[in-house]
Amino acid sequence: MRVYTHPACLRHDAGPGHPESPARLRAVLDAIDAAGLPGIERIEAPPASRMQLLRAHSPAHIARVLDVPVDGQRRIDADTAMNAHSAEAALRAAGAVCAAVDAVIDGREKRAFCAVRPPGHHATRDESMGFCLFNSAAVGAMHAIGVHRLERVAVVDFDVHHGNGTQDIVWDEPRVFYLSSHQHAIYPGTGQRDERGSRGNVLNAPLREGSDGEVMRRVYADRLLPALDDFRPQLLIISAGFDAHRLDPLAGLNFAADDYAWLTRELVVIANRHAGSRIVSTLEGGYSLTALRESTVAHLRALLELP
């Protein structure tokens, strides 16, 4: 399985004390190495092209991220900032997902994981927000339908925050089905059950504060997985945020690493049934380094179909 990453993703820094720190990605990469998983091949992520970005973002947004020189630090909102390496990191993060989509559709690999930052799922068509600059998962999904002519791409987002940006970008795009579980009523405030996309192509499952893995498994088994199965995705993209873990300092759900393994195995079953086994997963949030390490390894073991 390919693991896409790039050194620029370690150089992007939103400032001292920011929870979305380079240490997160170092922890993820070190944990993958230390786990000694079989068949892992680390690949340098290429930059996304303007054409790839334009399928998900407005020209004005792309220009604001790429074409404004950053000397020191540039603040975008209360949570989001760029340094001199951030534009390159965001380009490589989105490029990683596009390259991974190419690899799984060309049949070179069945699965890929993008160990990248900044995360992407809060970036809307027109705006950077919530630590996110470009929406890597959405760029990858639009690349799969735009270039590879897929007709059914699913984006499953289990980050503790709702992926308002992904929802915004695919709202009117029936070829992309966006499914999200997240903690109810925290940042960014979207993701209510009645937000369904203009073509019924969005499914939100807000979870009450304190919900644990048992609640999550029931919600997926009852609502999300049957809907995903009915959609018959030709490709699965996972927005893999690990901030619903009970150790996470930013949110209030109580998942454990084993819950991510369970959910990933369920997604593997559906990918094997409909999608020629193709799954591209990309790192979103997750702010406890311990939780990140153990959850990433549990997620990758399940993607590799290891016991």
Total interface residues for Zn ion by CB under 5 A: 5
Beta bridge partners of 113: 3, 281
Which of helix, strand or coil describes residue 212? strand
Please report, in angstroms and rounded to a whole number, the separation of the first and last CA atoms in the chain.
16
Residue closer to Zn ion (CB basis): 213 or 285: 285
Which residues, numbered 232-271, are part of the site for Zn ion (CB under 5 A)? 241, 243
Tokens 């579980």 correspond to what residue? 181
> 117, 9 in Cβ contact below 8 A?
yes
Residue closer to Zn ion (CB basis): 270 or 292: 292
> 159, 284 in Cβ contact below 8 A?
yes
- State the nearest-atom distance from the C-beta of 150 to Zn ion, in Å: 27
288 φ, ψ to 5°? -95, 120
Residue closer to Zn ion (CB basis): 79 or 243: 243
What is the sign, positive or negative, of the torsion defined by CA atoms of 112, 176, 295, 163? Answer: positive
| In the complex, residue closest to Zn ion by CB | 285
Residue closer to Zn ion (CB basis): 127 or 243: 243
DSSP single-letter state for residue 1? -
Determine whether 299 is an active site residue: no
Query: Which helix (H) or strand (E) segment is 306 a member of?
Result: none
- State the nearest-atom distance from the C-beta of 183 to Zn ion, in Å: 9
Reported as half-sphere exposure (CB side, CA atoms, 13 A), residue 258 has a value of 3
- State the nearest-atom distance from the C-beta of 73 to Zn ion, in Å: 22
Which residues, numbered 143-182, are part of the site for Zn ion (CB under 5 A)? 159, 161
> Binding residue for Zn ion (CB under 5 A) from 12, 285, 299, 301?
285
- State the nearest-atom distance from the C-beta of 5 to Zn ion, in Å: 19
Diameter of the chain by CA atoms? 50
Does 13 bind Zn ion (CB under 5 A)? Our answer is: no
* Token duo for residue 131: 């630590």
* Token duo for residue 238: 């996972």
- State the nearest-atom distance from the C-beta of 119 to Zn ion, in Å: 7
Residue closer to Zn ion (CB basis): 102 or 159: 159
Q: Residue 149 burial by CB count (10 A; 0-12/13-18/19+): exposed, middle or buried?
A: exposed
Catalytic residue among 12, 61, 85, 122: 122
Which active-site residues does the annotation give? 122
Q: Which residues bind Zn ion (CB under 5 A)?
A: 159, 161, 241, 243, 285
